């Protein structure tokens, strides 16, 4: 059986990356072929190495004011493994429309809010400040617009009256770890039904 090839892009601790890697076993239609970081310090790189998955980094700080060159290096690393799907998993750089379009809709992203609410940063703080009773996370196809694109899955969590940014972030992250693997499995299987969970 030919399995789809998945590259995972990270910038940090890589807990979503781990949940994706752990899911791609057995009869799963995809396998991880590369973990690529925007910084050499990302804790996720070492975690991926434990699974003997090839890793690489392109340090965004080497390309101040030169996003095109940064993206050219990313593309070089990606093209070398011919991925079918690219999963952004806590990848904290904005990608240009040209870069995104060159991958023909095959880039997925997880965002810690119920999009279209709270695009960008500090999503948990903004949900608390707004007095929201529900918050959550979204997996979507990446387009040229920030935290936009067709929604492939969403998971809702309650906001409690004594939540802090940290407690809410932890609850959302736990939901991310379930949602993202489920969406990836569906996308890799060609199943177009969005994941709505719970
Ligand atoms: C996750 O909460 C993810 O949704 C968020 O960064 C965190 C990464 O954690 N991504 C974004 O905010 C992207 N806009 P992880 O490195 O442990 O997976």
**How close is the Cα of 112 to the center of ligand 1, in Å?**
7
136 within ligand 1 shell (Cβ under 6 A): no
- The DSSP call for residue 68 is H
**Percentage, residues of the chain above pLDDT 90:** 98
Residue 197 within a domain: no
**What are all long-range contacts of 188-192, with beta carbons under 8 Å and residues at least 24 apart?**
188/4, 188/6, 188/28, 188/29, 188/30, 188/84, 188/85, 189/29
Alpha-carbon separation of residue 198 from 26, 106, 116, 175 (angstroms): 25, 25, 19, 9
pLDDT category of residue 148 using cuts at 50, 70 and 90 = very high
User: Separation of 111 CA from ligand 1 center, angstroms?
Assistant: 7
pLDDT, residue 1, reads: 81
Q: Give residue 11 CA to ligand 1 midpoint distance, Å.
A: 9
Please report whether residue 196 resides in a domain. no
Mean pLDDT for 17-22 is: 98
On whether residue 18 sits in a domain, the answer given is yes
Query: Ligand 1 atom 7: the closest Cα is on which residue?
Result: 90
Helix segments in 51-164, DSSP class H: 67-79, 97-101, 123-129
Indicate whether this model's pTM tops 0.75: yes
Report which ligand 1 atom has the smallest distance to the Cα of 89: 18
**Domain-embedded: residue 60:** yes
Range of the domain at 10: 4-191
With a 6 A CB cut-off, is 89 part of the ligand 1 pocket?
A: yes
What is the arithmetic mean of pLDDT over 61-82?
96
SS3 40: coil
In a domain, 57, yes or no: yes
Q: How many residues does the chain have?
A: 198
Within a domain: residue 198? no
Determine if residue 131 is left, alpha or beta; phi over 0 gives left, psi from -120 to 50 gives alpha, anything else beta. left
Centre of ligand 1 from the C-alpha of residue 77, in Å: 22
Atom of ligand 1 nearest to the CA of 14: 16
The pLDDT of residue 65 is 87
Give the torsion sign (CA, 56, 12, 179, 144).
negative
Domain count of the chain?
1
Mean pLDDT over all residues of the chain?
Answer: 97
The CATH number that applies at residue 64 is 3.40.50.170
User: DSSP of 137-158, one letter per residue?
Assistant: EEEEE--SSTT-S-EEEEEEEE
- Spatial CA neighbour of 34 closest among 23, 19, 22, 49: 49
Nearest partner of 107 among 77, 72, 135, 148, judged by Cα: 148
Q: Is 160 a residue whose pLDDT tops 90? A: yes
Site of tokens 């809010």? 113
Active site residues: 111
* Domain membership flag for residue 21: yes
Atom of ligand 1 nearest to the CA of 147: 14
């Amino acid at each position: 059986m030919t399995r789809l090839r998945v590259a995972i892009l990270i910038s940090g601790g890589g807990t979503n990356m781990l949940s994706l890697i752990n899911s791609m076993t057995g009869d799963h239609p995809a396998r991880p072929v590369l973990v690529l970081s925007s910084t050499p310090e990302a804790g996720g790189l070492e975690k991926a190495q434990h699974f003997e998955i090839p890793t690489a980094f392109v340090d965004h700080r080497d390309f101040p004011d030169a996003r095109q060159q940064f993206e050219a290096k990313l593309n070089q690393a990606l093209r070398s493994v011919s991925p079918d799907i690219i999963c952004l998993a806590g990848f904290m750089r904005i990608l240009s429309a040209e870069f995104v379009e060159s991958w023909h809709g095959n880039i997925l992203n997880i965002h810690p809010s119920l999009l279209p609410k709270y695009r960008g940063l500090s999503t948990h703080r903004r949900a608390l400040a707004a007095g929201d009773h529900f918050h959550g996370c979204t997996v979507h196809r990446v387009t040229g617009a920030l935290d936009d694109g067709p929604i492939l899955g969403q998971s809702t969590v309650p906001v409690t009256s004594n939540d802090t940014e940290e407690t809410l972030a932890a609850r959302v992250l736990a939901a991310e770890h379930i949602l993202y693997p489920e969406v990836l499995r569906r996308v890799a299987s060609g199943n177009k039904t969005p994941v709505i969970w719970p």
